[in-house]
Amino acid sequence: MKLFMALCCFAALSVKAQDYINPMDIPVVLSASYAELRANHFHGGLDISTPHIGVPVKSVADGYVSRIKVSPYGYGYGLYINHYDGHTTVYGHLSEYAPKIDSVIRKEQFRLKSFDVDYFPEEGAIPVSKGEVIAYSGNSGGSLGPHLHFEVRDTKTEVPLNPLGFLANKVADHKAPTVYGIKAYSLDDTSSVDEKYYELKSIENKTINAYGHVGFGVNAVDFFDVGGRPCGVVEISLYDNEILMYQSRLESISFDDTRYINSFVDYAEVQRTNRYIQKSFIDPNNKLNIYKVSKPIIIKDGELHRMRYELKDFTGNVRKVNFTVKGVKDGDYEPVIRRGTRVSWEHDNVLCSLKVVIDIPAGNFYKDEYLEIVREDSNVFKRPLYTIGSKEIPVHGNIGLTLPVPDDLKQKLADSSLKPRQVFIARTGKKNSLGYVGGTFDGENITAKPRYLGNFLIAVDTIPPRVVTKNTATLLSQSNNVMVGISDNFSGIEKYNVYIDGEWKIFEYDYKNARLISQVKKLGIKSGTHTLVAKIEDACGNLTEWEWKFRVK
């Protein structure tokens, strides 16, 4: 059934590949490929390296601007163009739009008094032709270095496809994928295997002992001829004594499904070691349409199974890795230790213990999991710390998490020395760092809706954001930038507004450099003295109002 559905999906999406020009007049060097494995998603497009920001970006075919999305995060300055062949191309992390697009989006930003806008121009209102400069490359949003994020989507379904199938200029790739290692898994209570990771060099001459229903996973990447960053493998096949037991192909993953990556990879291994092991078996609640073949691998006592992985990149280069599995019923296996209550992925579950309530709607786990709620009095945080299952268990959607508010905080909330928004659920991270989760107070408890498990506690934030000037001089020319440094100690910047002489102005929030920035000439102000007021609010409603005077030449 699963296979049949997958084939249907591909048929519906099968589109005629056509030639688009390169989006930039520089050789296509990739720093990331389509469907590359990322935290909580498959990469939706190609990352094309640029030597610096400001490389002209061209529309790859005739069409019209269908969406302009500006955000401090994600694609930063993003641009969407609909073409007449049923595809949409997306350009992300831009530094600037072409003037005719810029004027439209600035008008919208002023209308909403917001830097952050998501605007859908009317069909055909902003036409563009093949090769027309539509924007300039950048490093905006969640980008860690100058590059262009480029996507090709099916316009109707919005499903991103592999852009390599559309570009006329092929990206040279003569290198087969690289395999780092393989991991073995026991898949039910009666099977056993040494559930561990084998580096490639140790696997090829080794025999893995196993018994019963087992599975395997592979840690592999792919490189193109040019560009040293590891990219993603497209197709994975696993053979058992020459019979194809498993095959997956990453070619059209919708945004609705992209979070199922946490079931495609060994999520616990990612959390623990940052290794992305691609599992060659399917969790019961994995809805990805990538699986072509999936048969159970059963190892009986005394049998010898010659296994072979075949990994293929988009160009078709293949890497093969052979290993041997021997059926041993009563081997010297590491026992699997499970603690806590078994939670079914198929049903709604509510767990209550230690005044903690966890509400897990059906479908939020990929398979049945074991959960335990543990409370400890933390010396570091001076408050009870709750361990809810483990951060190594993936969660698909939002779960309800209710924690009791300690009495001292309840008292302060009752006498209004704390506002409800200032008290919230936080999670612990590396080196005892705390991350804001949020939640609402009902008089006794706080309930939040995280999409992860781990360590949580009730925390307080009463400290407003810090605002400073990042300008070294107060006398500025029209080509200078006005820069306001903003940072927050805990819950994070939620609202930012800058007024000059009482009028709201568009300032870009560049969170990586912790600043709001605008060129003087884009502010439309004349020579003379001006008063800037910044109003910055964190997620708990703590507000800073800051004033600064500067002069323009």
Residues of this chain that bind Zn ion (CB under 5 A): 47, 149
Q: Which is nearer to Zn ion, 47 or 269 (CB)?
A: 47
Q: Which is nearer to Zn ion, 149 or 183 (CB)?
A: 149
CB proximity list for 98: less than 8 A, separation 6 or greater? 132, 133, 134, 135
User: Min. distance of Cβ 258 from Zn ion in angstroms?
Assistant: 13
Q: Which is nearer to Zn ion, 48 or 208 (CB)?
A: 48
The token pair that represents 478 in the structure block = 């029209």
Q: Which is nearer to Zn ion, 149 or 319 (CB)?
A: 149
What is the rounded CA–CA span in Å between residue 272 and residue 41? 18
Q: Which is nearer to Zn ion, 167 or 453 (CB)?
A: 167
User: Min. distance of Cβ 141 from Zn ion in angstroms?
Assistant: 10
User: Min. distance of Cβ 44 from Zn ion in angstroms?
Assistant: 7
The token pair that represents 125 in the structure block = 């209102």
Question: One-letter amino acid identity for 312?
Answer: K
CB proximity list for 50: less than 8 A, separation 6 or greater? 24, 26, 137, 146, 147, 148
- Give the CB-nearest residue to Zn ion: 149
CB 150 within 8 A of CB 100: no
User: Min. distance of Cβ 161 from Zn ion in angstroms?
Assistant: 15
User: Min. distance of Cβ 517 from Zn ion in angstroms?
Assistant: 23
What does the CA dihedral 512, 513, 516, 520 come to, rounded to 10 degrees? -130
Strands ordered across the beta sheet of 96-97: 56-58, 133-136, 96-97
User: Min. distance of Cβ 41 from Zn ion in angstroms?
Assistant: 10
Q: Which is nearer to Zn ion, 149 or 530 (CB)?
A: 149
Q: Which is nearer to Zn ion, 31 or 364 (CB)?
A: 31
**Residue 242 backbone class (left: φ over 0; alpha: ψ -120 to 50; beta: rest):** left
The token pair that represents 203 in the structure block = 């696997």
User: Min. distance of Cβ 64 from Zn ion in angstroms?
Assistant: 23
The token pair that represents 529 in the structure block = 């003295």
User: Min. distance of Cβ 50 from Zn ion in angstroms?
Assistant: 12
**Angle ∠(444,445,451) on CA atoms, nearest 5:** 170
Q: Which is nearer to Zn ion, 143 or 428 (CB)?
A: 143
User: Min. distance of Cβ 70 from Zn ion in angstroms?
Assistant: 17
Q: Which is nearer to Zn ion, 34 or 496 (CB)?
A: 34
Q: Which is nearer to Zn ion, 47 or 235 (CB)?
A: 47
The token pair that represents 140 in the structure block = 């905006």
β-partners of residue 64 are 82, 127
Pick from 468, 434, 461, 439: nearest CA to 542? 461
Pick from 476, 489, 485: nearest CA to 549? 476
What is the rounded CA–CA span in Å between residue 92 and residue 148? 6
Pick from 49, 45, 16: nearest CA to 31? 49
User: Min. distance of Cβ 266 from Zn ion in angstroms?
Assistant: 23
Pick from 178, 191, 184, 239: nearest CA to 206? 184
